[in-house]
Structure 1
Amino acid sequence: MHLWAFVFASSLLGLAAVAQIVVTPFSTTGYLDEAKADTSDFNSGGTISVNVYIITIPKNLLFEFPAAFVPFVKVAADPSLHGYEVSINGNVVNGQIRAGQISIAQLSMHFGNGYIESVGDGSIQILNGPLIRINDPNGVFSKSYNLKPFFTADDENPSIAAFTGFPMCIPRSTSDEKCPDSNRPAGQRSFNAPDPAVMAPFKAGDFLEFAGIKLGNEIICSEIRIFA
């Protein structure tokens, strides 16, 4: 066989193989019914069940939480996440659903706003509303809280902040050097912090927006923004 004929025949075989791969887009949002990792490896893939669909999770795919990205193997190991809302975008490849992007939340529109009535021991009471806490496993913005670490606040690109981007905090004590009362001029809602190297404390009367998950009668927040 001549070389050109061999190359032509090989190309046709390659095209035939490609033509057999059928790919269509896929998306769904629903409750997480089940999650199984293939191995215990950090980057393991596996499968999840959502809305009766069985969806393949490829290796190295991270679950997107409100302010964190978490390996699938850790999600699969936490049965308390069953029943949470997940949104998946991906493809159906020869009949198999493969996830390409996946996010998870207790409720995707779980947020609120209001005025601060009082700031207490690691918590904020919203006027005529819920008691909220910062989900802060590393104790950056407030007292450490780690019951739901996957739904953490972002403590490197602060998600607890004024709308100007300045990081805010709940004092751990009356002499908290990381959240000093002196960094919030008395009686001012719109302010310039005297010391830009430390955070400014929330104050009664601040108007804020918050987003998080509900545990008992409290909202455990991954994001809080005040209008200041």
Structure 2
Amino acid sequence: MNPKPYPRRSVWPRWAGALLLAAGGAFAQTPNPSFTLVGHIERFALAPPGEGVAAMTVRGIPVTLPRHLLVTLPGQYLTPQDLFRGPLGGPVQASSGLALADAPPPRVPFEAELQGNIVGGRYIAGVARISQGALHVGSGFIQQIDPATGELRIGPLGGADGARVRLNDPKGIYGQANGAGAKAALPLDQRFSLDPDNSPVHARTGFPVCVPRGVADPLCPAGNRPPSAAARRYTCGAVPAEPLAPALAGCDPRRPAPLREGDHVAYAGMLAAAPGGGFVVAAHGLEAELGIYTSPGAEPVYLYIEEALMGTLGEEFPTLTQEETTRVRVVGFTTDPTRPVEVRLIDSGRNEAGTSLTGPAGLTPSNGPQFGRFRNTWPAKDNARAVRRDMLARVVGSPNAKLPNGLTSGLYVSPIGEYIGPEATRFGLPGYQPPVPFENFCFLEKGGGTVETAAGPVPVGRLAPFPESGHAQAQLVGASNARACDAPN
């Protein structure tokens, strides 16, 4: 991952296409309108060959999901076919169980966010995300912990019973596995499970936390928390990270810290119908209000990305005035503020070296307020970056080792949470929002590589049909970007 010079996107100058068009005047310059739909999944079906891979109706509008489009779930990427394998996997079924028109319909509606362009009278998506409510979150104090089922009761201390929350954890990294012991009696939808390769169950600093499987759980050791219930800020290591985070003797940073009754947590997940009535939250993420650090320079070290967004630039149209941006922003936290954090833009499965935004020097985490936070905004109007699928953060100098229990030291990879498309600056001309320049998205325009799915590795190609921007030079610009996508850096 040593950064090398990255070819700027301006190897195809921004003015070149307009100059050629002015000289020749032979190319059409009609921008395709963009769209964003967020709402319940009304219909969802696999499409006949040649028409894309699937069709989905959201807010009353049918949308084509192109072949090779990966759908972003809370903890993983899946193909549309994988979504039709059902909650527990298996062969492709006639119904996904996610649409209101399915028989039977889901008890709780599922939500999709689709972003794309209208091409030839068809809505064609370039970005697709599915959840049961992307902004749904719960919070409260842990009232009870059931080690047999891994279930947490979360609500007010000393008040009525709160929410029932179980981690949707098929591998049992953070507690009882989905199919183990008494937890197996309530099957959880593995399509919406937590991310097994990062640390989505963590303290505010990124240190992993867990639900004890019993009084003595070696995988979730009681010794990783101080004896005092009031001690919620400390260092899991021999040397304190700072005076207000004293070292905890005997704490093993290779293991997560156990949650306790009285801890305040925030959680996100889907509602699963519980036997006998009511719901259990199948959580794909949980954050505890704990300040757990690791000793300076020690391994393992943990971090996570809280926010990742990226601008998409745009294509120039003679008839369209628009505001474009390539602004990139990251916010995250690390358990070792003495070491810098490198941030890269990558395409998981095809070009995992990607582009280093920081270089080897990295970002310096805060050593003041919000001790351990790293953040930066790379400015707009900088066209040096092709658009990528993921953002990677790594602690500089860490070997980024995978631990035997499934945790990863010093590395966190997050999907880009928001793509910022161009916006019209002269309202009413041409009477719709400018197209999203999907030709600039490396992983959509060029394809390449493979992705692991429920059916095994799947090769990823260029989207078909492609949600074209409508720019006459899009193919040439896309070819320029494709070279940039695979350039060493």
How far 1:38 sits from its partner (Å)?
A: 3.6
**Which position in structure 2 is the counterpart of 1:137?**
170
Q: 1 CA distance for matches of 2:155 and 2:38?
A: 33
Residue 226 of structure 1 pairs with residue 288 of structure 2: yes
| Aligned partner of residue 173 in structure 1, secondary structure | coil
Contact 2:44 2:98 in 1 (8 A): no
Please list the CA deviations of residues 45-69 of structure 1 after superposition, one character each: whole Å capped at 9, or x if unmatched. Answer: 2211222211111111111112221
* Distance in 2, Cα, partners of 1:201 & 1:95: 54
Give the Cα–Cα distance (whole angstroms) in 2 for the partners of residues 13 and 36 of structure 1: 42
Q: Which residue of 2 aligns with 1:28?
A: 37
- Cα distance in 2 for partners of 1:76, 1:135 equals 19
Match of 1:155 in 2: 196
Of 179, 184, 209, 2:225 maps to 184
Distance 1:12 1:37 in 2: 43
Match of 2:267 among 197, 210, 216: 210
Say whether the 8 Å CA contact 1:35–1:76 is kept in structure 2: no
Distance 1:136 1:45, change over 3 A: same
How far 1:29 moved relative to its partner?
Answer: 1.1
Question: Match of 1:84?
Answer: 110
What residue in structure 1 maps to residue 406 of structure 2? none
Q: Shift of residue 143 of structure 1?
A: 1.0
Structure 1 position 212, deviation (Å) = 0.8
Q: Distance in 1 between matches of 2:62 and 2:212?
A: 46
Q: How far off is 1:13 after superposition?
A: 9.3
Instruction: Decide which moves more: 87-96 or 148-157.
Output: 148-157
User: For 2:65 and 2:124, how far apart are their aligned partners in 1?
Assistant: 6
Residue 76 (structure 2) aligns with: 68
- Residues in 1 aligned to 2:71 and 2:225: alpha-carbon distance in whole angstroms: 37
Deviates most, 132-141 or 191-200: 191-200
Q: 2:253 aligns with which of 177, 184, 196?
A: 196
Question: Where does the alignment leave 5 or more consecutive residues of structure 2 unmatched?
Answer: 1-19, 87-95, 100-108, 157-161, 179-186, 237-250, 274-278, 291-489
SS, match of residue 269 in structure 2: strand
SS at match of 1:80: coil
TM-score by length of 2: 0.41
Verify the 8 A CA contact 2:65 2:124 in the aligned structure 1. yes
1:35–1:75 contact (8 Å) kept in structure 2: no
How far does residue 36 in structure 1 lie from its aligned partner after superposition? 2.0
Is 2:92 the partner of 1:56?
no
> Is structure 2 residue 117 aligned with structure 1 residue 100?
no
Return 5+ residue gaps in structure 1 as ranges.
Answer: 1-7
Distance in 1 of aligned mates of 2:120 and 2:129: 24
Tell me the secondary structure at the aligned position of residue 74 of structure 1: helix
Residue matched to 1:5: none
d(CA) in 2 for partners of 1:175, 1:144: 17
Give runs of ≥4 in structure 1 deviating > 6 Å: none
C-alpha deviation, 1:23, in angstroms: 1.0
Pairwise CA distance, 1:12: 6.2
Percent identity over paired residues: 27
Query: Which structure's residues are more often strand, by fraction?
Result: 1
Aligned partner of 1:124 in structure 2 is 152
